[in-house]
Chains A and B, each alone.
Chain A
Amino acid sequence: MKKKKSKVTAYNNWGYAFVAPFVIVFCIFSIYPVLRTLYLSFTNLKVVGNADIIGFKNYARVLTDKFFWTALWNTVRIWIVNIVLQLGLAFLLMMVFSDVKYKMRGLAVFRIIYYLPNIIAATSIAFLFSTLLDWRYGTFNIIIKSIYDLFGAKYNPVNWIGSSATAGYTVAVIQSWMWFGNSFLMLMAGVQSINRDYFEAAAIDGAGRWTIFGKITLPLIKPIMMYVAITSLIGGLQMFDLPFLMIETASSAYGSVQTVMMYLYKFGFTTGTTQVGYASAVAYVLFLIILTVSVVELRLFRGKGDK
């Protein structure tokens, strides 16, 4: 008996060997950088060289800098428009494809097409759209103008990405266009994981399609909606590629689309404005915001009805 036990332990020791490469790389490239950033956030390091510990001064500066708050508001504003469109569209599609009366076909093909924009690099999307949406020479405005011309109306070209009134919304719409397919696929996966018997039992009991949707489909996919919303928020608050590449720094729209990550990039990595200590504090403030909102969001969803 004793011998057998020691043999099992010997087997279990292989666990160390299997997990070791992960742990080593994880410590060096994940845990250390996160802790290093935390340390730097308490220093006044500019670019390189010596730095002094200055306590919470960087944090105080983040919280009192009105440009930080503008950046946070820009990020949240763009995200809200984005998530409402993205999740709304995904939700409508899910309703259409899960409807027990219409029994729509072609899901296999539609979902591939809807997912397509997801796989393309944001850098390519950024240049594609900033060229299409150029207010004077872009194909988008040219097409709208020719439609107006058809009806004899006059079109005043909208400066989609160059004016502060529209730039944020333009970015939000493009992001929704990129990601609604992803949300739709997730919601659909949730619907398909629901036991078919529920629907049949409900149908036998004479429940209408709206009752079935409201009483079975909706409650059962709520956890997935929550998951989509939280992952989207975590990603959304780190929004960078599209606004960074699409909006010219010199443009008057820049101030209305500068996101928190762009603000962090300015202090963390842009020559001339580099203040590593300060940028680190920005990273941690953003992290705390993401953490707080995720927890609140989780509570809100959990609190309503479900155990």
Chain B
Amino acid sequence: MAFKIKKGILYFLLVLLALTCMLPFALMMINATRTGADIVSGFTFIPGKALKENWDTVFDYFNLFKGIWNSVLVSVPATLLCAYFSTLTAYGLAFYEFKGNKVVFGAILAFMMIPGQLSLIGFYQLCTKLHLVNSYIPLIIPAIAAPGTVFFLRQYILSSLPKSLIEAARIDGASEIYSFHKIVTPIVAPAVATMGIMAFIGNWNSYLLPMILINKTDKMTLPVMMATLKASNHINSNQGAIYLSVAISIIPILLVFVAFSKYIISSVSAGAIKE
């Protein structure tokens, strides 16, 4: 009996914690439909009727859909490049013995430990020199060289791709590029998907670097556009509009999470085990 009660209490606490995770979002959804005056005067779980009004206030101030679209323009190519070239590099490092292989791998290990802030200033200076401020190139192209992803995929390829498979293809006269595309990629696809989805979320949520590089309003990615709320008096007087902005800004990534939560959860676990 005592066992059952204790177990019940544990479940209660687990559910309570789950509610804590969701409560701020629930408050956000409800308040997004209420007028600023209503929100200030008290809280209720009953949604209000001011959604349209708040919507107009938000879109008077900024075009969040443009921000979402800009984020898509940055995150999707960056993720695809990261996935393709990381697999290519990982395969090259895992299966080919050439001079410099060890050096490249060593550099990858070293840069996994180097925090991003160390390159920030030099990176910005480089972009200024190359006239890449307000361009998406510095947000997309560096995705080709993602040390962490390469490291993870290299380990995966070494453990899951038999060398004999590639050798058999060679005997059949398959070119190396052909082998990579037709034999290697299908086998490593699950691991690439896992790393890719994490790369996408990272790109999507990235704030500091795009904030430094993009200052034209019509080029801003979603997080950068959201951050302009800080300086706005127009919208700050209406809390309902702020809640609605936040709600709109998180809906795309929530949809991604709903669709890919299996991959996301397994990638976090994989990241822990590899150490």
Contacts and interface: CB of A to CB of B under 8 A. Distances in A.
A193 interface: yes
A183 B10 CA distance: 20
B122 A34 contact: yes
Nearest to A294: B113
A127 B125 contact: no
Interface in B85-134: 85-86, 88-89, 91-93, 95-98, 100-101, 104, 107, 111, 113-126, 128
Contact of A40 (B114, B122, B207): B122
Contact of B265 (A34, A143, A185): A185
B117 A238 contact: yes
A224 B257 contact: no
Interface string B10-42: 110010011011101101100100000001101
A210 B100 CA distance: 51
A36 B93 contact: no
A11 B17 CA distance: 55
Given A146-B42, A268-B120, A283-B117, A123 B27 contact: no
A185 B268 contact: yes
B147 to A, nearest CB: 8
Given A122-B205, A186-B269, A245-B230, A142 B124 contact: no
Interface in A230-252: 234, 237-238, 240-241, 245
A39 B124 CA distance: 14
A294 B114 CA distance: 11
Q: Which of the four size classes fits the interface of chain A?
A: 35 or more
B7 A102 contact: yes
Contacts of A15: 92-93, 95-98, 101
Given A18-B96, A238-B117, A245-B227, A25 B176 contact: no
Q: Is the interface of B mostly helix, strand, loop or mixed?
A: helix
B143 to A, nearest CB: 9
A32 B122 contact: yes
A279 B121 CA distance: 8
A112 B98 CA distance: 43
Given A132-B24, A137-B39, A238-B115, A26 B145 contact: yes
A111 B14 CA distance: 10
Contacts of B227: 123, 245
Interface string A276-297: 1001100110110011001000
Contacts of B172: none
Question: Which 3 A-B residue pairings sit nearest by Cβ, starting from the closest?
Answer: A15-B96, A18-B92, A33-B122
8 contacts: A12-B98, A19-B104, A106-B14, A132-B28, A139-B43, A142-B40, A177-B21, A280-B121
Interface of A: 11-19, 21-23, 25-26, 28-37, 40, 48, 89, 93, 96, 101-102, 104, 106, 110-117, 119-124, 127-129, 131-132, 134, 137, 139, 142-143, 146, 177, 181-182, 185-190, 192-193, 223-224, 227-228, 234, 237-238, 240-241, 245, 261, 264-265, 268-269, 276, 279-280, 283-284, 286-287, 290-291, 294
